Amino acid sequence: MSRFLILLPAPEAEWAELPASEHEKGMRSHGQFHEDLRAGGHSIVAVGPLEPSAAATSMRPGAAGEAVVTDGPFSETAEQIVGFYLVHSEDEADLRAACQRFAARGEHIEFRRMAE
């Protein structure tokens, strides 16, 4: 059984300003995605939203072999990863189809097979 990581990128500032009706629409979309995964025999290992990127801590190697620790995300980008799904599946084609239906409902996702 293979593992897949489904990343959920979004522009945090814009997302925070959406009306409640749009957030409710998004929750319904996630609910449908859960149903699609279950119906396809895919297993959700972990799923969850992430705290805002402003609360992130970045760690990089320093010149003297130490870790350089800074507040904030690793890079400045228009979109941040706001959540994820880790899914086990034996049927990548069906999982991709479920992800395509999810994206067609207005969700932006990045689909990645995890290295074995």
- List, as one string, the DSSP characters of 7-70: EEEE-HHHHHTS-HHHHHHHHHHHHHHHHHHHHTT-EEEEEEE---GGG-EEEEE-TTSSEEEE
**Structural domain boundaries of the chain?**
2-55+78-113
The pTM (predicted TM-score) of the whole model is 0.84
Q: Which CATH fold topology does 2-55+78-113 show?
A: Alpha-Beta Plaits (3.30.70)
pLDDT digits (tens, 9 = 90+) for 6-47: 999 988 878 778 899 998 999 999 999 999 999 999 999 999
